[in-house]
Amino acid sequence: MLKNYKCENEKMSLDDYLKLYKYVRDNMIHPEWLGTFTKEEIEEILLTGEKIWLYYDNKNLVCSMFYMPIEKKILLKHNVDLEENFVGSLGPIMVSPDYVGHGLQREMMNVLVNYCRSINKKYIFTKVCSDNVYSLNNMLKCDFKVVDQYINERGSNTALIKKLEK
């Protein structure tokens, strides 16, 4: 359960985030599912309203989630005709292989829902590699709806949106 772990999101260590990111990617059968970000890209992204939650079990890195604002052109590219100021985006979400199977991804999505509500978002947009059935199923169980399916350099992908209830 997420409540058993310490969460850093205001003074989050980017170096710790990158350690978790590397550890997760290095232990994935399909690391392309997670995509790639450099430290510099993340630093730049964090300057424009993004937020990262990083969870610890004592000093062990457990899981992380990345909130990002979204641009209208990205929404339209994926058949979503909504104003960007009403939509937040779930970026990379990951769980250490040492903690997989405990429902942490879905719990983090609930944290994101509450955060998005607190900043007056009405929807959450995300993309998942279609072959990543665990993440895709978690999104669907959390009431995300498929809005687009497409192919890119990472393979087959699914774009999803969730309408936030009041």
48 pLDDT band, cuts 50/70/90, is confident
Which residue, chain included where needed, has tokens 């990345």? 66
Tell which residue, 46, 44, 63, has the closest CA to residue 54.
63
Predicted local distance difference test score (pLDDT) of residue 165: 83
In this prediction, residue 45 has a pLDDT band, given cuts at 50, 70 and 90, of: confident
Q: Binning pLDDT at 50, 70 and 90, where does residue 122 land?
A: very high
The predicted model gives 147-162 an average pLDDT of 91
> DSSP string spanning 20-84?
HHHHHHHT-SSGGGT----HHHHHHHHTTT-EEEEEEETTEEEEEEEEEE--HHHHHHTT----G
Instruction: State the Cα–Cα distance between residues 135 and 90, nearest whole angstrom.
Output: 12
Q: According to the model, what pLDDT value does residue 55 have?
A: 97
Q: What is the pLDDT of residues 58-114, one digit of tens each?
A: 999 999 999 988 999 999 999 999 999 999 999 999 999 999 999 999 999 999 999
DSSP string covering 105-163: HHHHHHHHHHHHHHTT--EEEEEEETT-HHHHHHHHHTT-EEEEEEEETTEEEEEEEEE
Rg (CA), the chain: 15
Average pLDDT over residues 35-63: 89
